[in-house]
Structure 1
Amino acid sequence: MRIPTTPQRSRMMSGIRGKNTLPERTLRSLLFARGFRYRVHVRKLPGSPDLVFPKYRAVVFVHGCFWHRHEGCHYTTTPRANEEFWQQKFQGNVARDKRHVETLRSLGWRVAIVWECAMRRSAQETARLVEDWLHGNEESLMIGQSVSASNGT
């Protein structure tokens, strides 16, 4: 495997989307087909959640394992070039995510985090878990690699 040059890496990284990613669009489609209606990327809420379900006072973030540092996931790699930069970048992302979740909870929102790897493994099962969570009363949900739900983030 060739290591990309700095301009190549820059071009590759600039093409990575922050919104409307494939895992996010897939989850939206599956939940819509199950009868759920939602708003997307509500900028008035901390972190502009990917999916907002006002009826359930719930939000869902669909996190990429690489950018949001899904602990223990094999998609969570660190580029070897300029490691210090990447470590700072990732630490900032994780800290920002934590602040957004805490703020949303303090505002009375329920928060779910769906990791990219869960969508890769079984999008249908992930959508079912989100559906069950929306109908339940748990405050938080995290769906990761094993496609198992766990309370807390």
Structure 2
Amino acid sequence: MVDIVDVATRSRMMSGIQGKNTEPEVLIRKALHARGFRFRLHVKHLPGKPDLVLPKYNAVVFVHGCFWHGHTCRYFKVPQTRPDFWLEKIGKNQIRDRSHEASLLGQGWRVLVVWECAVRSMKREKSLLLIDLMAEWLINGNEYLQIDENACSLTALVTTSKV
């Protein structure tokens, strides 16, 4: 399939995509801060430069975009233009993510991955269940947890697993 915009426009659009301070990340930061959690942002000396670092809880939080990190949810769709390129790129991102998570766990950090779909669900339902889950994990959680939109439904149970 041919791209619907010219190369210059596509380049401008792609260069506008942020890696830091994304809308989902900012929403989570504001909500956690309002609950009294204090954190550092994008700590460069830690693997993967986690979005949030909470030293008091020995925890790091990554807020992953469903497309860029290849989450298996309704928001991830392989582009029709250059699908091989995108699958390779997203695959490398996933490998890098697992490597960073394993390194952090090896250094004694607890790792929380929050998927963009969970934040979208929180916004859509005007629910603070995501923040409740995060706060509970920060205070009492195991070493690794992923939260997606399924975990943010009122009937879902949150399970923890190792990397």
TM-score w.r.t. the length of structure 2 is 0.88
Using the TM superposition, give the Cα deviation of residue 4 of structure 1 relative to its aligned residue in structure 2, in angstroms.
Answer: 3.0
The structure with the largest helix share of the pair is 1
136, 150, 153: which one pairs with 2:159? 150
Using the TM superposition, give the Cα deviation of residue 12 of structure 1 relative to its aligned residue in structure 2, in angstroms.
Answer: 1.3
- RMSD (Å), alpha carbons: 1.4
Structure 2, unmatched stretches of 5+, are none
- Kept in 2, the 8 Å contact 1:141–1:151? The answer is yes
Instruction: Confirm or deny that 1:29 pairs with 2:33.
Output: no
Residue 96 of structure 1 aligns with an amino acid whose one-letter code is R
Residue 54 of structure 1 aligns with an amino acid whose one-letter code is P
Structure 1, unmatched stretches of 5+, are none
Counterparts in 2 of 1:114 and 1:45: CA distance versus 1, 3 Å:
same
Aligned length: 151
Using the TM superposition, give the Cα deviation of residue 102 of structure 1 relative to its aligned residue in structure 2, in angstroms.
Answer: 0.3
Residue 130 (structure 1) aligns with: 134
Using the TM superposition, give the Cα deviation of residue 5 of structure 1 relative to its aligned residue in structure 2, in angstroms.
Answer: 3.3
Q: Deviations over 1:26-61 (max 9, x none)?
A: 000000000000000000100000000001100000
Residue 61 (structure 1) aligns with: 62
Residue 132 of structure 2 aligns with an amino acid whose one-letter code is R
Instruction: Confirm or deny that 1:80 pairs with 2:85.
Output: no
Which stretch of the first structure deviates more once superposed, 37-46 or 5-14?
Answer: 5-14
Instruction: Confirm or deny that 1:92 pairs with 2:101.
Output: no
